[in-house]
Structure 1
Amino acid sequence: LCKCDTKRKVLYYLNVMASNTLVGEIQESFLSCPICLQTFTKPKALSCLHSFCEDCIRDYIVSRYENLGHFPCPVCRQIIYVPQNGISGFPDNYFIKSLQNTVESSGGEISAKELSGSYGRNSITELTSVLQPGKERVVFTNHKDARLLIQFGHFGVGQQGLVHVSGLTISKVTDDIVIADCSLNKVLVYSLRGEFRCEFVCDCSIRDVTLTRAGTVLVSISRAGSNNIREYGLDGRLIGSFGSFYKYDNPFGITVTRQNKIIVTSLQQNNVQFFTERKQPSFKFGSRGSGLNHFLLPYYVCTNSKNNVIVSDSGNHRVKIHKNDGTILLTIGNQGSENGELFYPMGVCVDEHDNIYVADANNFRVQMFSPEGDFITCPVSNTYEFGMDVKPTNIGIHHEKLVVAMRVLNYLTKVRTFYSIDF
């Protein structure tokens, strides 16, 4: 993170929690390594968004998973792949380091002068649609405070309870929001106003969710041992299982094209897999690496009106756009916190103008890019103001409503709907 942006986030936290007791709570709960329970030393950020001391995570891997090349996160158990240059290849968490330095330099007492200034409210950028010669697109007009319409969802394991929202999609027919919870292995349906519709539990480890043109639910499933896709009715009735050829590939993101073809991302193989409209394996592209034709943890996927494939290449801190035959068109972003830069991007979606929205998780914001990959604005920013370390992980957009799922550590906080676009 750039120093000025990090310092602003740090001072915001201290402004909210400026007392000896609360600064101590920050030190204990936010600046302590989950492994050694001591103050972070060289904090490293994993792709699951958890952080650990460099030496702690190295010892953890060497003692249990040294020759595997991957390991389960000690907190959330998500499979993490070791960078080619080893543990040092995991990115430094400069936000934690800066917060730690600021708390230590304050001596536990934060002065009013140190906390004075503007900390930037959550903001939504209002856009307007204009017709340019030859094409219609959305352009930046002016900037306003956030317009949070609703928030819904609560942490819990009972009915309507959520723990870890791993998938989110919006029906273009019914306007309903469909959510997948990978901790509870259940699918929940809400209206766009946040009204609970229904839910059902799956007897498998689900990841992402999407809808077919017929309105059935497709979920990507992991560790099933037989298939990597299941199809359900909204009543929870299992319609079918597919993808046995890729059953060991640790699938995650899933989407359906306009031709009713299914696309699934694989965290194990670091590739993108296509299925025919009959749900038979078609082809795949990509492999592990950092080149133009490679991926490193491709979490989420969506398509635009041209059937181009948009993938959040999380481990490489970028978003990639491919033709539907796998040919690379362009990449967006690199690691950083400036406008247009990304730090572990997660969910991706497009609007009716093919503008691209990215849940820039470790930068606490959602970024918006043009179809050509040019940065437009951050429709949602400073998500840490919703709570300690709250990050956007999943997004969907339907007309002017931007739906964002946020979580802190491995727990859901809320699903929030913003009014983001004014036509």
Structure 2
Amino acid sequence: MNRRSWMTRTLTSSLSFAIATASGCVSSVAASEPELVWGRRGFSDGRFLKPRAITIDDDDQLYIVDTTGRIQVFNSDGVFLRGWSTPQTANGRPTGLAIRRANTPVPPNAAQIPDLAQLPNAAQLQEPILLVADTHYYRMLVYTLDGTLCDDQQIGGTAGHSPGEFAFVTDAVCDNEGCYYIGEYGDSDRIQKFDPEGKFMTQWGGTGSERGQFVRPQSLVVQGDVLWVVDACNHRIQRFDLSTKTPSLIEVIGKEGVGEGEFYYPYDMAFTADGTMIVCEYGNQRLQHLAADGRWIATWGGPGFQPGQLYQPWGVVVDTMNRVHVLDSNNHRVQRLII
């Protein structure tokens, strides 16, 4: 019997999601089986080779990058829509994607305004764009959602420790004011903040396990005036107040472990409609559903190859119907759950 067959038989009978009966919480995951599984290993449109990051736009279109450097776009049912490749891939491929949304709606009389730049909030009257953490090229790339590269909006591109230089870029996100936050690991486990024009503003962090330090800040999520940082190799999540000049630490959630509310190499997180969060663990090969303060609600997944099992997952998003899409990386697929 080969290794794959042995693992499949062993795990199929032993793994299922858990329900928090002791605390009185009931899992919001309806069953251990996913609602939908799609994708397979390959190089053609709609297939993946170890997908590494996922994000979602306001139309529930999924943007996924894999280790070939391809960015592919799908509808929420896994139907391929379009795709393109990043400019360079010889040194490595992107590991982070995010959408910068149009934060302020265009006013109803916009067509009658000859020069939108004259508006006080013109900086926010922008089309959504895709931010790409081009990890091994020390930069944040920017694309329109149809795949056009915006060279003039790139941040970084030089390896180093100075402001505006980067080690290995993990993720890039944007707040409601149009400011960018870019995480990196390697020699510089830090987060740098840039204004809407891409000018350096501040930085914080540094390599370490103390509060406010990081070891591979793999994923960033902005929620209002709070930045959530998935501090992967410290096996925790940290959140920071963005309303201060230099973001200040609010709280640290989680610790290393395999228990409820503990993490082992968390790589991504996303928020549900009710403000609870889904955390994707690369090491524990599972999803955890947690309250915003870290209280455990439910667990889904476990290592394996069957539907409902995961093999080193890298990313998670939640769509407008409150469905969870998990990037099951080493199974070269996406699984969708109802919560």
Give the deviation of 1:30 after TM superposition.
11
Structure 1 unaligned runs (5+)? Answer: 1-21, 32-98, 100-109, 127-138
CA distance 1:153–1:319, change in 2 (3 Å)? same
- Counterparts of 2:129 and 2:28, CA distance in 1: 39
Correspondence for 1:320? 238
Correspondence for 1:178? 63
CA distance 1:231–1:374, change in 2 (3 Å)? same
* Structure having the higher Rg: 1
Residue number among 275, 285, 291 corresponding to 1:354 in the alignment: 275
Residue number among 209, 218, 221 corresponding to 2:97 in the alignment: 209
Normalization by structure 2: what TM-score?
0.77
Give the RMSD, CA atoms, in angstroms: 2.9
Correspondence for 1:119? 14
CA distance 1:354–1:189, change in 2 (3 Å)? same
Q: Does 1:405 align with 2:327?
A: yes
Which residue identity is paired with 2:99? Answer: L
- Counterparts of 2:302 and 2:174, CA distance in 1: 31
- Counterparts of 1:141 and 1:393, CA distance in 2: 22
Q: Deviations over 1:147-170 (max 9, x none)?
A: 522222221123333112221111
Residue number among 248, 251, 256 corresponding to 1:335 in the alignment: 256
8 Å contact kept, 2:326–2:336: yes
- Counterparts of 1:337 and 1:292, CA distance in 2: 21
CA distance 1:30–1:372, change in 2 (3 Å)? same
- Counterparts of 2:268 and 2:29, CA distance in 1: 24
Which residue identity is paired with 1:217? Answer: L
Written as runs of structure 1 = structure 2, the 5 A alignment for 1:230-379 is 230-240=141-151, 241-244=154-157, 245-268=163-186, 269-304=188-223, 306-324=224-242, 325-378=246-299
- Counterparts of 2:238 and 2:196, CA distance in 1: 24
Correspondence for 1:384? 304
Give the deviation of 1:142 after TM superposition.
6.5
CA distance 1:256–1:386, change in 2 (3 Å)? farther
Give the deviation of 1:385 after TM superposition.
5.3
Deviates more, 1:284-293 or 1:393-402: 393-402
Q: Does 1:168 align with 2:54?
A: yes
Number of residue pairs the alignment of both structures matches = 292
Structure 2 unaligned runs (5+)? Answer: 102-126, 158-162
Q: Deviations over 1:272-300 (max 9, x none)?
A: 12222222222111000000021111111
CA distance 1:371–1:358, change in 2 (3 Å)? same
8 Å contact kept, 2:63–2:71: yes
- Counterparts of 2:179 and 2:29, CA distance in 1: 38
CA distance 1:143–1:207, change in 2 (3 Å)? closer
Residue number among 109, 132, 144 corresponding to 1:219 in the alignment: 132
Higher relative contact order (CA 8 A, sep 6+): 2
8 Å contact kept, 1:344–1:362: yes
Q: Deviations over 1:216-239 (max 9, x none)?
A: 211111333xx6111112332211
Normalization by structure 1: what TM-score?
0.63
1:315 aligned counterpart, secondary structure: helix
